Amino acid sequence: GAVVSQHPSWVICKSGTSVKIECRSLDFQATTMFWYRQFPKQSLMLMATSNEGSKATYEQGVEKDKFLINHASLTLSTLTVTSAHPEDSSFYICSATHIGQGTDTQYFGPGTRLTVL
Amino acid sequence: EDQVTQSPEALRLQEGESSSLNCSYTVSGLRGLFWYRQDPGKGPEFLFTLYSAGEEKEKERLKATLTKKESFLHITAPKPEDSATYLCAALSGSARQLTFGSGTQLTVLP
């Protein structure tokens, strides 16, 4: 159980276009999902917390108008990179919080590799 | 401010050579200490959650332990397929997000 999927797994786009990445919790409901960015050989950098039915909470330095997050249901959150530029090229990973008996556990998706030409 | 520090940054072992990875944490009111495994180009895979000092959990060749200041991931008789980056993360107080360490890149040579 506790499977999280992401789609697409990789995407290549031209500079100036927008890209949407989907994150789904397949076998559980998640009121909270998280979006991370990861650069090569570095750890995860939290971008924002996605809350079902309400606005996302962005980390300091993350442009909310550039990285649009929508959490429309308990199993789906989307990240849209608007007007993408080469510096937005990165590995984007989502996670979904599974509420268990002990404590909440974040399960991660497989990631999406974004390349902006 | 919550902090999680992992050491070493990188570790190379011969197959069968047991070792330990360290995760030191400073958080207010630890609610859970998590270990994940990450392979290149993939998302982190959940391994363990530890809740209180003295707790231990095992999975195949991996055993995680927790004290009030540190967690260790012991790897017994590792195999090349254990090669990956191991991430430690802490969940504190009323926070909903994890504080991650920078990871230990483990390479097990055949």
Contact yes or no for B87 and A104 at CB 8 A: no
| Region of A24 on the Ramachandran plot (φ > 0 left; ψ -120 to 50 alpha; else beta) | beta
Residue type, B24: S
pLDDT (mean) for A7-21: 97
Reduced to 3 states (helix: H, G, I; strand: E, B; else coil), residue A80 is: strand
- Residues B98/B2, Cβ–Cβ less than 8 Å: no
Check whether A53 has a pLDDT greater than 90.
Answer: no
Chain B: which residues have CB within 8 Å of chain A?
Answer: 31-32, 34, 36, 41-46, 49, 51, 87, 89, 91, 96-98, 100-103, 105
A21 pLDDT tier (thresholds 50, 70, 90): very high
Q: What is the pLDDT of residue A52?
A: 86
Q: What angle is formed at CA B51 by the lines to CA B5 and CA B82, rounded to 5 degrees?
A: 60
Mind listing the pLDDT tens digit for each residue in B11-44?
A: 999 999 999 999 999 988 888 999 999 999 999 9
Q: What is the pLDDT of residue A96?
A: 94
Contact yes or no for A108 and B46 at CB 8 A: yes
Phi/psi for B105 (5° steps) reads -90, 110
Instruction: Report chain B residues whose CB lies below 8 A from the CB of A28.
Output: none
CA–CA separation, A67 vs B71, rounded Å? 35
Q: What is the pLDDT of residue A1?
A: 65
What percent of chain B is predicted at pLDDT more than 90?
87
Contact yes or no for B31 and A103 at CB 8 A: yes
A7 pLDDT tier (thresholds 50, 70, 90): very high
